[in-house]
């Protein structure tokens, strides 16, 4: 028998189990000014125990008050606010400790009763940041920290987040420097007070701070400054060569040349170079959080494949932060988001991340082509789920469905394919614009017309699917709604943009530099397009292509590869076995695998050799890909 929430609460109250009005529903947000200013102070000095200690003053009046811990996080597109790391909540008013009750339906909401005569409540709590990656992303080490305001603040329910003013301050470890989009009002020792800002913009303005810090000007002399703020595990990693600096400066100029406008009063890249603090890539309107390994600069060539990170996150200032899908633009951080337009938000940003990496010189053109081949192969042969049961549109629900948890068969289940699948759709759109206009119109025109408007403004400007279609039709008339829906809702391969740009996707037995770089970065052996398996460090099988040769032979993720053709497993041994089976068609690939505590031999009857994706010129067509990647 079901009992309504209200009925249950009334029953509990009648028998004395509830002593105050903590059962009230969470007030819906109203677009009216909040009376007063949140004052939030964070003590970030406990780096040994990785604890952020928070004191907050919340203006209030007598009666019920609901405090919210942010749940639905922009950039994550999901209800992933780390409430499990929230601890030690204490609420007082006029020196009196107030009882609080967590809402049993909405566990991010805390109800308190403000006594007569009180004009505010004092809130204290701790954010117990992860001690290791099993608990989440590590954000505090002996050398650096990443402070995200959604983790270290609560706010009053009943208001739009942009109607709440906030005044924030932080005490950093002694001598540490920091980068942030926030503007400093004053500094006393290691405590920094920031200028008042709307609460939604505060949450959108994280901080990187560290013992070893460097700030680099990426647009010298500009009225609207752009800085690269770097924290590192050791000072040696902060050294930047002039040519490395130049390509990062080029990135800013290439974005400006394409969009023709920007949407911030200053911009701060936040970049951590660390093996201790977890990697990251998270967009904000006037900044971005970017985390890579410590040798980003010092082993420049080795780390080439990850150099589209900054171009991707920077692009989000235009696409995702300024212009945002209407169903993602919620009144506050506890109203559910809908993700239907992530194929624009993330998909087109993935597209521009690659293109701008090439235009700026962060990537050479051959690497950009290799990376595109890697993606194109995924949507030709590497996503059987796309062919059989899912589509790109449905994957926009994945931030809510899976929240980036590991999946048993990612290639079949699919996971957030609106990124790279969306990227392939936008490459296709560029090819179609060129075809219809005789190469007079391109996706650059869409970028400028859709995102490059109202220079200097940074209030959110929402859009719908119909707005996307209208802009495309204004540039080049066509049935764009049908064109996009066929690709978003369909089940075929998404490689049309490769062909329309004058190239062909081919497979050879030689890995490209992109494949080598990705394998090195992941510590993996990727044989997806031959035997249909990807093997991680130590022989752990990370993915098996659904219905591929390895799958049909009985291999599955979670098994451990112990030996290949009687020899101890190594990446070379596995590749040698695939090559040998192609030379001798009678010889299967024999694998000794461990599955839980059992060992078994699996024989894969595959004889077509190693296969790695590459792009090959189709000389019967113009090279529009070279035009797309060329610096402006």
Segment 254-261 shows an average pLDDT of 98
Cα–Cα distance for residue pair 143/129, rounded to 1 Å: 15
Strand order in the sheet with 598-604: 567-568, 560-564, 589-595, 598-604
Identify the three-state secondary structure at position 368. helix
**Residue from 50, 77, 76 nearest 145 by CA:** 50
Token reading at 228: 């690269």
User: pLDDT-based confidence at 24, cuts 50/70/90?
Assistant: low
Average pLDDT over residues 169-190: 98
Percent of the chain's residues with pLDDT above 90: 94
Q: Please name the helix (run of DSSP H) or strand (run of DSSP E) that holds residue 39, with its range, or none.
A: strand 37-46
Q: Which residues pair with 127 in a beta bridge?
A: 52, 86
Count of C-beta atoms within a 10 Å radius of residue 262: 23
Which backbone phi and psi does 524 adopt, to 5 degrees? -125, 170
Helix axes 420-437, 347-360, angle to 10 degrees: 70
User: CATH for 26-211?
Assistant: 2.60.40.3650
183 three-class SS: coil
The DSSP line for 582-599 is HH-TT--EEEEEEETTEE
Whole-model pTM: value is 0.94
- pLDDT at position 10 is 37
pLDDT tens column, 148-174: 999 999 999 999 999 999 999 999 999
pLDDT of residue 16: 35
478-493: pLDDT as tens digits: 999 999 999 999 998 9
Beta strands at 226-232 and 267-273: parallel, antiparallel or unpaired: parallel
Return the residue matching tokens 């890697």: 374
Residue 18 has pLDDT above 80, yes or no: no
The CATH code of the domain at 530-610 is 2.30.42.10
Q: Mean of the pLDDT values across residues 459-463?
A: 96
Is the pLDDT at 9 greater than 70, yes or no?
no
For residue 620, give every residue at least 6 positions away whose Cβ sits within 8 Å of its Cβ, in sequence order, or none. Answer: none
| pLDDT of 413 over the 70 cut | yes
The domain spans of the chain are 26-211, 530-610
Residue with tokens 């293109």: 355
Which range is least confidently modeled, 331-340, 362-371, 432-441, 517-526? 517-526
Is the pLDDT at 41 greater than 90? The verdict is yes
- What would the DSSP string read from start to end of 470-528? HHHHHHS-S-HHHHHHHHHH--S---HHHHHTTEEEEEESS--HHHHHHHHHHT-EEET
Q: Read off the pLDDT of each residue in 301-306 and give the average, rounded to a whole number.
A: 93
**Residue 68: strand, helix, or coil:** strand
Compare 71 and 403 and report the one with higher pLDDT.
71
List phi, psi (to 5°) of 207. Answer: -130, 135
Pairwise CA distance, residues 555 & 545, whole Å: 10
| Structure confidence at residue 6 as a pLDDT band (50, 70, 90) | very low
Q: Would you tell me how many other CB atoms lie within 10 Å of the CB of residue 299?
A: 12
362-388 confidence digits (pLDDT tens): 999 999 999 999 999 999 999 999 999
User: Is 280 in contact with 239 (CB distance < 8 Å)?
Assistant: no
| Separation between Cα atoms, residue 101 and residue 112, nearest integer Å | 7
Average pLDDT estimate for 522-544: 95
Question: Which pLDDT belongs to residue 425?
Answer: 98
> Which residues does 378 contact at the CB level (< 8 Å), separation at least 6?
420
**DSSP characters over 565-584:** TTEE--HHHHHHHHHHHHH-
Tokens 């940041």 sit on residue: 129
**Judging by beta carbons within 10 Å of its beta carbon (0-12, 13-18, 19+), is residue 303 exposed, middle or buried?**
middle
Residue for token digits 């400006």? 256
Q: Classify strands 598-604 and 525-527 as parallel, antiparallel or unpaired.
A: unpaired
By residue count, the chain amounts to 632
Sort strands 280-283 and 287-292 into parallel, antiparallel or unpaired.
antiparallel
Q: Which residues, including other chains, have CB under 8 Å from residue 14's CB and lie 6 or more apart?
A: none
Q: Is the per-residue pLDDT at 19 higher than 90?
A: no
pLDDT at 22 over 70: no
As a three-state string, the secondary structure of 439-469 is CCCCHHHHHHHHCCCCCCCCCCEEECHHHHH
Tally helices (H) and strands (E) across the chain.
20, 32
pLDDT at 3: 38
Question: Cα 15 from chain centroid?
Answer: 48
d(Cα 319, Cα 238) in Å, to the nearest integer? 30
Does residue 25 have a pLDDT over 90?
no
Q: 172, 613, 194: which is closest to 372 by C-alpha?
A: 613
What is the average pLDDT across 55-68? 97
pLDDT of residue 1: 40
Is pLDDT at 254 greater than 70 in this prediction? yes
Look up residue 334 and give its two tokens: 């506890």
Do the first three CATH levels of 26-211 and 530-610 match, i.e. the same topology?
Answer: no
How far is residue 348's CA from residue 320's CA, in Å, rounded to a whole number?
10
d(CA 250, CA 220): 12
């Amino acid at each position: 028998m079901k009992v309504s929430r209200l009925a249950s609460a009334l029953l509990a109250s009648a028998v004395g189990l509830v002593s105050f009005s903590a059962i009230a529903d969470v007030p819906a947000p109203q677009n009216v000014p909040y009376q007063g200013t949140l004052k939030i102070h964070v003590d970030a000095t406990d780096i040994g125990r990785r604890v952020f200690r928070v004191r907050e003053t919340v203006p209030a009046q007598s009666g019920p008050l609901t405090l919210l811990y942010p749940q639905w996080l922009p950039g994550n597109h999901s209800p992933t606010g780390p409430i499990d790391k929230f601890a030690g909540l204490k609420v007082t008013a006029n020196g009196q400790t107030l009882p609080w009750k967590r809402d049993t339906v909405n566990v991010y909401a805390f109800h308190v009763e403000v006594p007569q005569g009180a004009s505010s409540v004092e809130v204290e709590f701790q954010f117990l940041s992860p001690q290791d990656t099993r608990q989440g992303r590590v954000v505090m080490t002996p050398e650096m920290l990443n402070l995200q305001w959604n983790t270290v603040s609560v706010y009053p329910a009943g208001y739009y987040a942009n109607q709440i003013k906030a005044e924030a301050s932080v005490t950093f470890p002694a001598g540490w420097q920091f980068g942030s989009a926030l503007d400093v009002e004053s500094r006393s020792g290691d405590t920094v007070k920031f200028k008042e800002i709307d609460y939604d913009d505060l949450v959108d303005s994280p901080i990187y701070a560290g013992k070893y810090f460097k700030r680099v000007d990426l647009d010298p002399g500009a009225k609207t400054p752009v800085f690269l703020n770097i924290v590192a595990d050791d000072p040696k990693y902060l050294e930047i060569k002039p040519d490395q600096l130049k390509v990062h400066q080029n990135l800013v100029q290439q974005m400006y040349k394409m969009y023709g406008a920007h949407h911030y009063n200053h911009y701060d890249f936040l970049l951590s170079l660390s093996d201790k603090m977890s990697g990251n890539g998270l967009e904000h309107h006037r900044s971005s959080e970017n985390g890579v390994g410590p040798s980003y600069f010092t082993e420049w060539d080795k780390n080439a494949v990850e150099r589209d990170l900054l171009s991707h996150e920077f692009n989000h200032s235009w696409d995702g932060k300024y212009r945002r899908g209407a169903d993602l633009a919620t009144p506050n951080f506890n109203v559910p988001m809908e993700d239907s337009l992530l194929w624009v938000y993330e998909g087109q940003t993935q597209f521009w991340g690659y293109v701008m990496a090439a235009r700026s010189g962060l990537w050479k053109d051959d690497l950009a082509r290799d990376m595109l081949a890697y993606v194109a192969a995924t949507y030709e042969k590497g996503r059987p789920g796309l062919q059989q049961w899912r589509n790109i549109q449905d994957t926009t629900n994945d931030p809510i469905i899976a929240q980036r948890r590991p999946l048993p068969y990612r290639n079949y289940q699919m996971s957030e394919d609106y990124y790279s699948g969306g990227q392939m759709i936008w490459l296709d759109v560029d090819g179609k614009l060129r075809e219809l206009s005789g190469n007079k119109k391109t996706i650059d025109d869409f970028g400028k017309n859709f995102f490059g408007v109202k220079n200097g403004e940074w209030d959110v400007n929402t859009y719908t699917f119909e707005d996307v279609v209208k802009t495309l039709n204004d540039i080049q008339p066509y049935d764009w709604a049908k064109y996009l829906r066929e690709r978003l809702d369909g089940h075929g391969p998404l490689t049309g943009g490769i062909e329309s740009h004058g190239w062909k996707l081919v497979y050879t037995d030689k890995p490209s530099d992109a494949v080598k770089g990705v394998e090195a970065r992941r510590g993996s052996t990727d044989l997806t397009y031959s035997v249909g398996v990807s093997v991680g460090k130590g022989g752990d099988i990370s993915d098996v292509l659904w219905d591929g040769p390895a799958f049909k032979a009985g291999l599955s993720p979670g098994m451990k590869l112990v030996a290949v053709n009687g020899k101890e497993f190594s990446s070379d041994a596995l590749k040698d076995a695939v090559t040998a089976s192609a030379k001798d068609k009678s010889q299967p690939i024999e694998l000794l695998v461990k599955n839980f505590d059992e060992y078994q031999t699996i024989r894969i009857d595959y004889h077509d050799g190693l296969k790695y994706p590459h792009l090959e010129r189709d000389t019967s067509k113009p090279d529009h890909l070279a035009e797309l990647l060329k610096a402006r």
